[in-house]
Amino acid sequence: MNKKVFEVKNICKDFGESRDTTVHALKNVNLVIQKGEFTALVGPSGSGKSTLLNIMSGLDLPTSGEVYLNDRHINTMASNELSDFRRDHIGFIFQSYNLIPVLTVKENIEYIMVLQNISAKERHERVGEILKTIGLEGKENRLPTQLSGGQQQRVAVARAIVAKPDIILADEPTANLDSKTGGALLEMMMGLNEEFNKTFVFSTHDQKIMDKAKRLITLEDGKIKSDEVLT
């Protein structure tokens, strides 16, 4: 039986400063993610999927409800504790890559490991291994501006997984890529899921990701409309 990695209980998220302008982005959402899942959150724009992903990552806090990662109640943590916990347990892949422009590929990938005080020797070994996995051997000293969009997103994926998080959250990771490049990135992430049992949760409009997902969760108007395990 797979281990439960993540759980949200009765999550609500409101935006707005008054009753007349309040937007109820999430309404009593309940969700459990097991280790090794390859899950896609889908739905129209404004359905709440990116908001839910941000709350799962600890980048945003719910208005009410509870968020657990490995049975730790993360939305009650102090900001410094949450920042350290997120660094060590959650990998996040952004639509816009969010690489540090003045750092090389190698430096971007190892950045989180530096914050984790991992030794230079182990960082070097992990970076070497992940560069082979993502097909960017020989490009470790290039800056992000010297890479294509697809290569930059591969570096972002490498940065997210190299610190060995418990879960990887990806917000529209293929949105800025052409179809071929996005498909290649998806195949790479599927390989990481299948070979290393990495847990992925996507927020996406990309039909290719929906077709490859092992679980499809559809949100509509801030609620889970359907939750389907696929074979």
For range 68-79, the mean pLDDT: 91
If one counts every other C-beta atom within 10 angstroms of the C-beta of residue 129, the result is 12
pLDDT range class, residue 1, cuts 50, 70, 90:
low
In a domain, 132, yes or no: no
Under 8 Å between Cβ of 113 and 163: yes
- pTM score of the predicted model: 0.90
Q: Is the pLDDT of residue 67 over 70?
A: yes
Q: Would you say residue 135 lies in a domain?
A: no
Q: Is residue 127 in a domain? A: no
Look at residue 115 and tell me if it is in a domain.
no
Cα 137 to the center of its chain, rounded Å: 24
Number of domains forming the structure of the chain: 1
- pLDDT at position 7, please? 95
pLDDT at 76 over 60: yes
Assigned domain for 134 exists:
no
Q: What is the CATH number of the domain that holds 89?
A: 3.40.50.300
* Domain assignment of residue 200, given as a range: 4-95+146-229
